[in-house]
Amino acid sequence: MERLIKVGNCQDIPQGEGRRYFLNGEAVGVFNLGNKIFAISNLCPHLGGPLSDGLILGEEVVCPLHYRKVNLKTGCVKNEYEKVRTYEVVLKNGEIYLKS
């Protein structure tokens, strides 16, 4: 059964940035694109770089270790067959919840 788990507040993530939270023991990167909040597994599949520390370009985040680009909507890694897990985000009164 899916449930909503609060991970943070919208005001804690400046527009154009990401933050790391934990959901069921897994690191999740939550990103504020201004008009939309995205959540993906925080570990780059290449070498485990912290995606929440990466640069956001459009709807992609660039891994700070080796510059792999990960699509925030789909979790797909650009020019690779790899993918990171995506999470459904629910916003309630400025609070960020993820479906678990």
Q: Is the pLDDT of residue 1 over 90?
A: no
Q: Is the pLDDT of residue 25 over 80?
A: yes
Place of tokens 């507040």: 9
Q: Looking at residue 2, what is its pLDDT?
A: 80
Q: Specify whether the CB–CB gap between 58 and 77 falls below 8 A.
A: no
Q: How many helices (H) and strands (E) are present in the chain, helices listed first? A: 0, 10
Architecture of domain 4-99: 3-layer Sandwich (2.102)
Output the pTM of the full model: 0.93
Q: How far apart are alpha carbons 94 and 82 in whole angstroms?
A: 32
What are the structural domain ranges in the chain? 4-99
Q: What DSSP string describes 20-66?
A: EEEETTEEEEEEE-SS-EEEEESB-TTT--BGGGSEEETTEEE-TTT
